[in-house]
Structure 1
Amino acid sequence: MMSRVKKGIIAGFIATVVVSVLELGNMLLGQMFDPFPSVVARLFGMPGNLAAGWALHFIVGSLILGSLFGIIHERIPTRTPETKGILFAVAAWVAMMLFITMIGDPRTFTGSAGFGTFGWMLVTHMVYGGVMGNLYARLVAREKRGAAPIGAAPAH
């Protein structure tokens, strides 16, 4: 039996991979928007360090947001797992924007940054949430379908 946190981490990791593919497309096809790993690196005081930005992106997307989603999934007030994920990811985006504007460096968004970058980040967060919600629900359903030992209670 897998814990809700572990399911959330797995779903968060795969959703982070999906969003990273979208971000790689942005980076390789002309950087229409500031690359998210670059924004994350600048936010943590490491401007220009894309490797650190990617690492932090995966840590936050998998370990922090994934496990938090697993913990609060049942309390999110929507019906479908995808909308639960999207609502969670948009709330994370709002928290990130508040963190950047209140605590972060005002020069976090540079170059081509502007409304387009904010919109791109919102869209990628929504994709992240939809994928994470779907995968989390699949992991829960898979566990419920699995064979339980005699006398064992079903999971969640």
Structure 2
Amino acid sequence: MSSSSIHIKQGLIAGFWATVVLSMIMVMKAMMGLMPNMNPIADIVHVFDMFTGMQAGMMVGWLGHFFIGTVAWGILYSLLVNKLPGGGLMKGLIFGAIAWMAMMVIFMPLAGQGFFGMKEGIMAMMATLMLHMVYGAVLGLVYAKLTAHR
């Protein structure tokens, strides 16, 4: 197995665990009734429905959420990690901010939430930033741990 494919595998593993932690926080947030209007899983379903003309359920939203967090961001992180400054935590936080920016300028408008999700207000924008910082921190720390022996 080549070095780059090993790093991609580690990016996938780190992306998965970061997505698990992020998902647990999202579920707890929903159970506590915090920011009830903000539902990124429903937004994924909305975008899927819009592009396919189908009516998908929440399972598609969760699968999309895990695909984005594990596969898309995990692979992209493994490809960019050596270009990011700092140690594992800092690299992850920077990447989390990049992922958040992509969500704000690409995904949120597609989901009908407006540029930077402003349809939901400033608190939703800040909450998604914090969630992406947690995601990035876990991603960076897990990836650093998995690659430390190399």
Q: 2: CA distance between counterparts of 1:85 and 1:129?
A: 4
1:37 maps onto 2:41 in alignment: yes
Give per-residue Cα distances to partners, 1:65-124, cap 9 Å, x unaligned: 001101110111x2111111111111111112111366x15357698x221111111111
Identity of aligned residues (%): 31
1:106 maps onto 2:112 in alignment: yes
Taking a change above 3 Å as real, the CA distance of residues 107 and 97 of structure 1, as seen in their structure-2 partners, is: closer
Q: 1:49 aligns with which of 57, 60, 71?
A: 57
SS at match of 1:45: helix
Q: Normalising by the residue count of structure 2, what TM-score does the alignment of the two structures yield? A: 0.82
For structure 1, the residue ranges without an aligned partner over 5 or more in a row are: 145-156
Q: Report what 1:4 is aligned to.
A: 7
Taking a change above 3 Å as real, the CA distance of residues 6 and 98 of structure 1, as seen in their structure-2 partners, is: same
Q: Normalising by the residue count of structure 1, what TM-score does the alignment of the two structures yield? A: 0.79
For structure 2, the residue ranges without an aligned partner over 5 or more in a row are: none
Q: Is the 8 A contact 1:26 1:35 kept in 2?
A: no
Letter in 2 for 1:94: M
Q: 2: CA distance between counterparts of 1:115 and 1:49?
A: 28
More helix by share: 2
Letter in 2 for 1:86: L
1:64 maps onto 2:68 in alignment: no
Give per-residue Cα distances to partners, 1:28-57, cap 9 Å, x unaligned: 111424122122222333688322211111
Give per-residue Cα distances to partners, 1:17-38, cap 9 Å, x unaligned: 0000000011111142412212
Taking a change above 3 Å as real, the CA distance of residues 74 and 32 of structure 1, as seen in their structure-2 partners, is: same
